[in-house]
Amino acid sequence: MNKENIAKLVKEEVLILPNEAEHISIALGDVRIKIIPKDGYSVSSDGRIKIALDLKLDDNLVAEGNARELVNKIQNLRKSADLQVTDRIVLGISSNVETEKALAKFNDYIKSETLAEEIVDIDGSNLRHSQEST
């Protein structure tokens, strides 16, 4: 079947196809329609509702995902340090290229979600030393 016939079958729940000797009637319940997405997309459907997602990640989506992951890790550290929900912090981060991109684009979001008054770039050795002395 072509796309037009499939669309008509889904819409009208029955499709009548002409044949040489007679017409063939196909009911929606007689067939199983499988949606095969193009490369780079994911598709799902539920009855008449269909959703297609573009799975390509651009730099902004990657940075946002890293910012969200960073917030999650900081929130877990706040919890393990028994900080109150309203306690403000100065956040020291030992960063890499991906973290720097996340901080550049989502600095305000990270500060807001973690209640950080300031985000300070700290190299790994200083960060370990600071943790040991507290």
**48-71 pLDDT per residue, tens:** 788 889 999 999 999 999 999 999
Q: Are residues 7 and 38 in the same domain?
A: yes
| The total number of structural domains that make up the chain | 2
Q: Which domain holds residue 21?
A: 3-54
Predicted TM-score (pTM) of this structure = 0.61
| CA atoms of 100 and 102, how far apart (whole Å) | 5
Confidence of residue 28 (pLDDT cuts 50, 70, 90): confident
Q: Which of 38, 54, 70 is the last residue of a domain?
A: 54
Q: Are residues 29 and 73 in the same domain?
A: no
Confidence of residue 124 (pLDDT cuts 50, 70, 90): low
